[in-house]
Structure 1
Amino acid sequence: MRAARGGQGPATWGQRAIHTALVKLGPDAPRYNLRTAAPVEPGLPPATALGAFTELLHLHDALRTRLVERDGDLVQEVDADGTLPVAVLHRDSAERAAGAAAELLAEFAARPFDLSGEWPVRLGLVLVDGLVRQVALVLSHTASDGWGMRRAVRDLTLLAGGRSAAELRAERTFAQPLEEAAEQDSPRGRRRDAAARRHWRDKLSRGPRAQLPRPDGEPDPQRRFPLAVLRSPELAAALPRAAARLRTSDATVLLAAAATELGRLGGQREVLFQVVVGNRFTEQAAEAVTTLAQEGLFHLPELAEDFAATVGRCQGPALSAYRHSGYHKPQLDADLAALRASGVEPADHSVIWNDTRDPLAVAMSDGAAGAGAVERELRFPDTFPARPGVSVAVDVVAVPGAIELLMVADGALLERPQMAQFLCGVEQLVLEAAGWAEGRREPVDSRRPSGRIRRP
């Protein structure tokens, strides 16, 4: 690769948070790797594909950034030049090329990255009759989150079509990790960090100590965490209508519905969520390929009897959570350790809410999915090992024609019927808020590993 901009500086808050998490995961760190494999139609000459990827490396510094621990601190080093190994495979048909790309993707994703010694990128090309027909791409989570990965794929497509990094950089402004770190280390950034950590200490000092009934004794470390998935075209259609009727954002409507259903499961009126926030509210952040792994703390002191009133009560705490979601994560961990040492056990913040929806992701999926009706479905496709510090984790995902709610829960706290009750309850609250009144959804039969629920 020809010379690009290089330099070094302190790591960003996002880089520090993910680096800390990967070190703790140890051999399990690869499960944080980001991955995508896609067909290339009608095919590209290898030189064109490699040229486009070289331009992508020039466009986004995060893809050339290594994280190095030096003098007790984490430093980012952006390389001005270097070489990225690329796996090139040859197959004799499109079907075999797709299979080879899937295998290559799995191999890339299963290996941890040497965060200090290699670029956080792995690339593979599969050729048929001399043309690239499949691309496999894996990024370390220290370089990007899911939002940034989608930007990288979009930009790679533009570059493969003949655009240049210089042209794209001239058309838009976006944060690069070195500038991001400099802003965070500025007086304004330090004030923001201090305010966010103060917000966390305050909420965790006053919030609920347990949100779900807990069995006596120590939890079984071998217990399983079931995964429930609700795919709902009705929810996707009703959500914007409900938001318009309630005069708020659709994200707040969903958050309020989740808070209401968690309160019902736990039998209490106070709710505390960790809310995963991408901080993509500005153009500079929205267009960046970087990792912004920050969590906000959403604390609702009391649910209302009426759902519309609960939505209104959620707006202030939600805004406060988003405003205080950027901070120095290792320092926050030290703050919470000091809180415990003072005799204050922090509130239960083991419930995680992650609204991942991104309009670009829906547009990209729509283009690849083609036509066809989407069927409503509730299923339990998998179980996972115990997740320390997590009781419930819910992801909101936009898919073509529907919204999916993915829920992982501690099997010692919630059984499958209760998980189904939560997901169907969230959906039902939104439908009712949209004015689509109908009978409450019935949960799936927990005796079956998966199942479908159709409209009554």
Structure 2
Amino acid sequence: MTAHNAAPHDSAPHDPAPHDPVGAGRRVTVRFAATSGGSGPLTRGQDNMIRCIRRDAPEAINKESVWPVPPGTTLAAGLNALRLLVERHESLRTSFPPGPGPDAFPQSQLVHGDGRFAVTVVEAGGLESHELDSLAAELGQADVAVPVPLDAVPRIRCTLLVDGPHLLRLIAVVCHAGADGAATAVLIQDWYALAAGKDLPPVTAPTPIQLAAAEQSPQGRRRAAGALRHWARVLDTGPQVVFADSRIAGPPRDHGALMVRSRTAAADLAAVCRRTGASPSVVLLAAFSALVARRADRTELAVSALSANRQRAVLLDHVGTLAQDALILLDTGTADLDQLIGRAKSASLSAYWHSVLDAEQVWQLVEDAAHVRGSRFARQVVVNDLSLTIPAAVADAQPAATADPELTALPAPPLPVRLMFTILRISGSLDFALIACPQVLDPVETDRFARALLALLAAAAGGPVPLVGLHDAPGPPVAGSDGSDGSDGSDGFSGSDGDGGADWRVVDGSRIDLAAVRSLVGAALDAALDTGLDHGPDHGPDLPRDSRPACRVSVEDGRLTVDLDTADPHLTPADVHRAVVAALPGRDTAMAPQHYRIRYRGPDGERLGAGSGRDPEVVARLAALT
């Protein structure tokens, strides 16, 4: 191992551009030389995460954390441990070169046998422990927003806080294309042992290249095809969205996070597991889903589960990214929580088994389902069980709770979800975070939701709990702009709340707001007229903006119908439907009409056109999977 201060011109060719979030560090280059290398196709998890990296902001993809440092570790020992860690795990030495296509999307992974990478070293001598923690958090929050280049190694970036030769803190930013949450836990454990001078046994888990080969085998392809069919069935029949709330106006934003810690709840959870024979993950999924169902006032939920692909024993210690959602379709219409726990176990196992799939095909499937059903699947409700991926050393390093339960409001990152339940610890203390979009749960409601979850576990520790009496949890929202939760017993969805307000109906198993549908259709037609409707080469020019068709929305025999009056003789239901579906993202309380009636006005009189606007090829493609 060689470590030296590196001047900017001496940086490795593929080092990321020098960055220093607080302007008080120096760059040190670490060289590595491993015994393995090679190349191969992408794993399905890598393919999925690269698509996310190319689409989303870095802070939504990269993961930062402060890793534990063994007492007495020197800077030299810390740098050496990082070198050994990179040499040990191929995923950290993997780059994704641009592919040959027009969008340069990578088609392969390249494992580097040798190379070098830069580490930022920040002098922090003289700071108290809490000041070091604050500085580490500040550095991590700034560094997580800096991209980790796909064509560079390693897939991890580190900042070290030192007092001269002594290492005090290690802040790591991990690229999600290199390691998911469970893999990061393995990295932390290995780093700690290496920094303490211990020898590690050889890696036995499959490498990403080996995993890619297995996924491309006939068995792997059959499994992926089965997973696609599972997703198609859920997207074709299950709820596209969960929450119906008049406060929903656009994509999720302004999230809040509530951290909950309780030793009593951990004991209650253990008691429920002993009594029912279910795992903590399943019990928590069931309890959480029961409360979500009460809030949403519906029994059937579509829940996205992260960290789902660690169910196979051979992949428990895999260092790479297995990040693909498991899509759980769960019917919460049971008499008590015990029965729901049984359903949650079956539904989650099926979803986990069907969570290794081709990301591009799934994204196309989501588009096809949106086109056919008129509503776009949204990850409104997400569960992320990290309880088995956070090393005990990290959990134990947290300050002791000051109350039981301890509820702490925290800043939250921007996420494309409405409600996320992240399970952090289940042994000794139940630690979890609720990340909520205030359009569905404001801070007061989030607090009530968390306390209701703890109360449900406490009640279930003693026996089956009926689900009809969960009055401590936030109830269904009243259909109005005030967002009240229906605690007065009103279902809130029984019609219009006034002129120009919400007007709720049940269509295709989902509650929709006709006022939101009118807004959706109007916005879609405005956008289409701005950019030009594609009528084809033989049709005349588009109409001016002030000629937007008049629109009326209704529900007839359970079918959402829109009536349009237009002077454009070429406007077709297919034109309108394409424009409406394109405008769906973020409009969770609306859906595209299932039938269009268009009345054409012209010098020769009026004529009527009608149809669903659906493309027969898309309908057939989705039907073939379901």
TM bin, normalised by shorter chain, reads: 0.7 to 0.9
Give, in whole Å, the separation in 2 of the partners of 1:354 and 1:202: 23
Counterpart amino acid of residue 418 in structure 1: E
Q: Show the 5 A alignment for 1:387-406.
A: 387-388=415-416, 390-398=417-425, 401-406=428-433
How large is the Cα RMSD of the aligned pairs? 3.0
Q: What per-residue deviation string (whole Å, max 9, x for no partner) do you get for residues 255-280 of structure 1?
A: 11112111111222212211113422
For structure 1, the residue ranges without an aligned partner over 5 or more in a row are 445-456
The question of whether the paired residues in 1 share the 8 Å contact of 2:70 and 2:196 is answered with no
Counterpart secondary structure, 2:243 = coil
Q: Show the 5 A alignment for 1:349-428.
A: 349-358=379-388, 361=390, 363-365=392-394, 367-369=396-398, 375-382=404-411, 387-388=415-416, 390-398=417-425, 401-428=428-455
Question: Given the alignment, which residue of 203, 206, 214 partners 1:175?
Answer: 206
Change (3 A) 1:240 1:399: closer
Q: Is structure 2 residue 155 aligned with structure 1 residue 114?
A: no
Give, in whole Å, the separation in 2 of the partners of 1:99 and 1:377: 21
Counterpart secondary structure, 1:112 = coil
- The corresponding residue for 1:249 is 279
- The corresponding residue for 1:144 is 179
Q: Show the 5 A alignment for 1:423-442.
A: 423-435=450-462
Q: CA deviation at 1:106?
A: 4.2
- The corresponding residue for 1:187 is 218
Q: What per-residue deviation string (whole Å, max 9, x for no partner) do you get for residues 209-240 of structure 1?
A: 44222329x82459633333333222211111
Question: Given the alignment, which residue of 165, 169, 174 partners 1:134?
Answer: 169
The question of whether the paired residues in 1 share the 8 Å contact of 2:227 and 2:357 is answered with yes
Q: Show the 5 A alignment for 1:90-109.
A: 90-93=123-126, 95=128, 101-102=136-137, 104-109=139-144
The question of whether the paired residues in 1 share the 8 Å contact of 2:74 and 2:167 is answered with yes
Q: What percent of counterpart residues are identical?
A: 27
For structure 2, the residue ranges without an aligned partner over 5 or more in a row are 1-31, 475-626
Which one has the largest radius of gyration? 2
Q: Is structure 2 residue 245 aligned with structure 1 residue 214?
A: yes
Counterpart secondary structure, 2:384 = strand
Counterpart amino acid of residue 252 in structure 1: V
TM-score (norm 1): 0.85
Q: Is structure 2 residue 114 aligned with structure 1 residue 81?
A: yes
Q: CA deviation at 1:384?
A: 6.1
Give, in whole Å, the separation in 1 of the partners of 2:168 and 2:378: 49
Give, in whole Å, the separation in 2 of the partners of 1:190 and 1:4: 31
Question: Given the alignment, which residue of 92, 112, 131 partners 1:63?
Answer: 92
Q: What per-residue deviation string (whole Å, max 9, x for no partner) do you get for residues 131-175 of structure 1?
A: 3333232221111112211211111121223334xx521xx5212
Change (3 A) 1:437 1:147: same
Give, in whole Å, the separation in 2 of the partners of 1:2 and 1:278: 33
Higher RCO structure (Cα 8 Å, ≥6 apart): 1
- The corresponding residue for 2:12 is none
* Alignment length (residue pairs): 434
The question of whether the paired residues in 1 share the 8 Å contact of 2:291 and 2:473 is answered with no
Q: CA deviation at 1:179?
A: 0.8
Q: CA deviation at 1:302?
A: 4.6
- The corresponding residue for 2:268 is 238
Give, in whole Å, the separation in 1 of the partners of 2:439 and 2:122: 46
Q: What per-residue deviation string (whole Å, max 9, x for no partner) do you get for residues 288-315 of structure 1?
A: 2211111111112352022212222222
Counterpart secondary structure, 1:43 = coil
- The corresponding residue for 1:271 is 301
The question of whether the paired residues in 2 share the 8 Å contact of 1:235 and 1:403 is answered with yes
Question: Given the alignment, which residue of 335, 352, 355 partners 1:325?
Answer: 355
The question of whether the paired residues in 2 share the 8 Å contact of 1:174 and 1:283 is answered with no
Q: Is structure 2 residue 59 aligned with structure 1 residue 30?
A: yes
Q: CA deviation at 1:401?
A: 4.0
The question of whether the paired residues in 2 share the 8 Å contact of 1:265 and 1:418 is answered with no
Q: CA deviation at 1:286?
A: 1.6
Change (3 A) 1:227 1:44: closer
Q: Is structure 2 residue 190 aligned with structure 1 residue 155?
A: yes
Give, in whole Å, the separation in 2 of the partners of 1:309 and 1:268: 17
Counterpart secondary structure, 1:82 = strand
Q: Show the 5 A alignment for 1:291-310.
A: 291-310=321-340
Q: Is structure 2 residue 80 aligned with structure 1 residue 51?
A: yes
The question of whether the paired residues in 1 share the 8 Å contact of 2:395 and 2:425 is answered with no
Q: What per-residue deviation string (whole Å, max 9, x for no partner) do you get for residues 352-376 of structure 1?
A: 1112211x62521354347777531
- The corresponding residue for 1:447 is none
**Deviates most, 106-115 or 433-442:** 433-442
The question of whether the paired residues in 2 share the 8 Å contact of 1:357 and 1:396 is answered with yes
Give, in whole Å, the separation in 1 of the partners of 2:71 and 2:235: 54
Counterpart secondary structure, 1:68 = coil
Give, in whole Å, the separation in 2 of the partners of 1:303 and 1:6: 52
Q: What per-residue deviation string (whole Å, max 9, x for no partner) do you get for residues 5-29 of structure 1?
A: 111111111112221112111xx21
The question of whether the paired residues in 2 share the 8 Å contact of 1:350 and 1:392 is answered with yes
The question of whether the paired residues in 2 share the 8 Å contact of 1:261 and 1:422 is answered with yes
Q: Is structure 2 residue 158 aligned with structure 1 residue 123?
A: yes
The question of whether the paired residues in 2 share the 8 Å contact of 1:265 and 1:422 is answered with no
The question of whether the paired residues in 2 share the 8 Å contact of 1:62 and 1:177 is answered with yes
The question of whether the paired residues in 2 share the 8 Å contact of 1:428 and 1:441 is answered with no
Counterpart amino acid of residue 117 in structure 2: L
Give, in whole Å, the separation in 2 of the partners of 1:136 and 1:314: 37
**Deviates most, 1-10 or 40-49:** 40-49
Q: CA deviation at 1:411?
A: 2.3
TM-score (norm 2): 0.63
Q: What per-residue deviation string (whole Å, max 9, x for no partner) do you get for residues 153-212 of structure 1?
A: 111121223334xx521xx52121111111111111111111111101001111124422
**Deviates most, 93-102 or 103-112:** 93-102
Give, in whole Å, the separation in 1 of the partners of 2:423 and 2:191: 26
The question of whether the paired residues in 1 share the 8 Å contact of 2:235 and 2:369 is answered with no
Give, in whole Å, the separation in 1 of the partners of 2:55 and 2:312: 31
Q: CA deviation at 1:128?
A: 2.4
Change (3 A) 1:401 1:296: same
Change (3 A) 1:400 1:90: farther
Q: CA deviation at 1:397?
A: 1.6
Counterpart amino acid of residue 121 in structure 1: I
Q: Is structure 2 residue 232 aligned with structure 1 residue 201?
A: yes
Counterpart amino acid of residue 197 in structure 1: L
